[in-house]
Amino acid sequence: MNIGDRIAKLRDDRGWTQEQTAGLLGISRAALSHYEKNRREPDTETLSKFADLFKVSVDFLVGRTNVPHITLDEPVREFVDQLELSEEDLLSRLALAIDGKKLSLEETKRFVAFVRAERNMK
Q: How confident is residue 24, by pLDDT bands cut at 50, 70 and 90?
A: very high
**Count of domains for the chain:** 2
Q: Give the containing element (helix H, strand E) for 19.
A: helix 18-25
Domain at 17, CATH number: 1.10.260.40
Round the average pLDDT of the chain to a whole number and report it.
83
Residue 83 sits in which domain range? 74-120
Largest CA distance in the chain: 53
Residue 66, in any domain of the structure: no
What residues have CB less than 8 Å from 84, skipping those under 6 apart?
90
Q: What is the pLDDT of residue 13?
A: 95
Nearest C-alpha neighbor of 118 from the set 86, 75, 73, 72: 72
Of 18, 38, 61, the last residue of a domain is: 61
Yes or no: say if 72 and 44 are a contact pair by the CB < 8 Å rule.
Answer: no
pTM: 0.58
Q: At residue 17, does pLDDT exceed 90?
A: yes
Residues 91 and 47 in one domain: no
The pLDDT-based confidence of 86 (bands split at 50, 70, 90) is low
The residue with greater pLDDT, 72 or 44, is 44
